[in-house]
Amino acid sequence: MSIDARFCLQRGEFHLDVDVTLPGEGVTAVFGASGAGKSTLLRCVAGLERAAQGVLSVNGEVWQREGLFLPVHRRPLGVVFQESSLFPHLTGAGNLRFGLQRTPIGERCVDWDEVVQLLGIAPLLPRYPDSLSGGERQRIALARALLASPQLLLLDEPLAALDEARKAEILPFLERLRTRFAMPMLYVTHSMREVARLADYLVLLEGGRVRAQGPVQEMLSRLDLSLAAADDAGVVIDAVVAEHDAQWHLSRLSFPGGSLWVSRCAEPPGERLRCRVLARDVSLTRERNEQSSIVNLVAAEVVELAPAASPAHVMVRLDAQGTPLLARITRQSQARIAVQPGECFWLQIKSVALLR
């Protein structure tokens, strides 16, 4: 099961030249700076760029190749655009019905009541888009796309036009979609936070070309990509809730390379949780220091070093029994405690962000 896409498109000065094979399930983030060609790639996949030369097959079905171009309305996909694109002459319910009614009954695999409940939009259905907030409109747009029973969901910066509060309101819904529906999603974004939270796979675009691609855990720990130069560079760790500590209001998350204590979470033991550890929150010590206020200590081996964005710092990539971790330390510390590939250190992790 995979999505094979190869596109060439010339648009004035801009040239898109992409050849990727993406997983046919889960969330694939298409990440890059403005003008990298993220949205154009998405439009090519949707069939909205007729000028694009290319080949596209989605889980075995050919949508485009030499001599064949399936028009947009014949592609079983759903698209959610950045700004709300609800039909203003239809109510919320009318918008939802638009795609549903045009989906042959035999192909319908998404239940109206379930979507309405999942996205919490029941009270919005009788209202016109005019009277809805940005976040409410995006929820309706998501539901509308889902109800057309797409085999591929394309999201073009669906949160970019919303303020922080609205983003926080929509993200949990996107996560629920991810767990509930099996359809693959292509998620265009320039927000590392959204990538860390939602993505399983990451495609990094630069200047219309694919710079790198791979599972998100691996991609975020690579030092040769621009991702590591960002101030909020860091890794994501998929962990399992191991236990709760009622006395200290903590929960222990375990992952192959060790475990992390975090503020007590709601998930029961055994539940999977993703967390993010930023490189700037990780420090290295030779000795296991029990006298520190930092509770999270993980043993790891240095794999490689690379220059950081500032000349005062250096990025260190470490391996904790298969789990990659990043640390950003000063050059001075690196020289003082001799941080070199092959050496083992204790990682003191000052903060862990729970993503789900």
Partner 1 sequence: MLSPDDLTALCVTLKLAAVSTVLLIVLATPLAWWLSQTRARGRVLVEAVVTLPLVLPPTVLGFYLLLLLGPKGPVGAVLEDIGIGHLAFSFSGLVVGSMIYSLPFVVQPLQNAFAATGTRLLEVAATLRASPLDRFLTVALPLARRGYFTAAVLAFAHTLGEFGVIIMLGGNIPGETRVASIAIYNHVEALDYGSAHALALTLVVFSLVLLTLVYALNRRGQSVGVPR
Rounded distance, CA 226 to CA 232, Å?
Answer: 12
Question: Does position 85 bind partner 1 by CB under 8 A?
Answer: yes
Count residues near partner 1 (CB under 8 A): 27
Among 50, 60, 89, 270, binds partner 1 (CB under 8 A): 89
CB-nearer residue toward partner 1: 81 or 187: 81
CB-nearer residue toward partner 1: 156 or 281: 156
Among 129, 135, 158, 208, binds partner 1 (CB under 8 A): 129
Among 22, 44, 46, 275, binds partner 1 (CB under 8 A): 46
- Tokens for 181, please give them: 């529906």
Q: Which residues pair with 100 in a beta bridge?
A: none
Among 48, 242, 265, 299, binds partner 1 (CB under 8 A): 48
Q: What share of the chain is helix, strand, coil (3-state, %, to 5)?
A: 25, 40, 35
Among 116, 118, 140, 148, binds partner 1 (CB under 8 A): 148
Q: Which residues pair with 155 in a beta bridge?
A: 80, 187
Rounded distance, CA 1 to CA 351, Å?
Answer: 37
- The residue to which tokens 């592609």 are assigned: 75
Closest CA to 326 of 305, 297, 355, 310: 305
Q: Which residues pair with 259 in a beta bridge?
A: 254
Closest CA to 127 of 83, 92, 84, 166: 92
Q: Which stretch binds partner 1 (CB under 8 A): 83-91, 166-174, 243-251, 266-274?
A: 83-91
Rounded distance, CA 134 to CA 277, Å?
Answer: 31
Among 11, 15, 21, 87, binds partner 1 (CB under 8 A): 87
DSSP reduced 3-state for 325:
strand
DSSP reduced 3-state for 44:
helix
Question: Does position 131 bind partner 1 by CB under 8 A?
Answer: yes
CB-nearer residue toward partner 1: 94 or 214: 94
CB-nearer residue toward partner 1: 140 or 318: 140
Closest approach of Cβ 277 to partner 1, in Å? Answer: 38
Among 130, 164, 287, 290, binds partner 1 (CB under 8 A): 130
CB-nearer residue toward partner 1: 95 or 283: 95
CB-nearer residue toward partner 1: 109 or 168: 109
Asked whether the beta carbons of 320 and 258 are under 8 A apart, the reply is: yes
CB under 8 Å to 192, separation ≥6 — which residues?
31, 227, 230, 232
Which of positions 94-113 make contact with partner 1 (CB under 8 A)? 98-99, 102-103
Closest approach of Cβ 148 to partner 1, in Å? Answer: 5
Among 81, 201, 255, 345, binds partner 1 (CB under 8 A): 81
Closest approach of Cβ 130 to partner 1, in Å? Answer: 6
Strands 250-255, 258-263: pairing is: antiparallel
Strand ranges of the sheet holding 313-320, from the earlier edge strand across to the other edge: 282-285, 344-349, 296-307, 313-320, 323-330
Closest approach of Cβ 99 to partner 1, in Å? Answer: 4
CB under 8 Å to 9, separation ≥6 — which residues?
15, 16, 40, 44, 49, 51, 52, 53, 54
CB-nearer residue toward partner 1: 90 or 171: 90
Q: Which residues bind partner 1 (CB under 8 A)?
A: 46, 48, 71-79, 81, 85, 87-89, 98-99, 102-103, 128-131, 144-145, 148
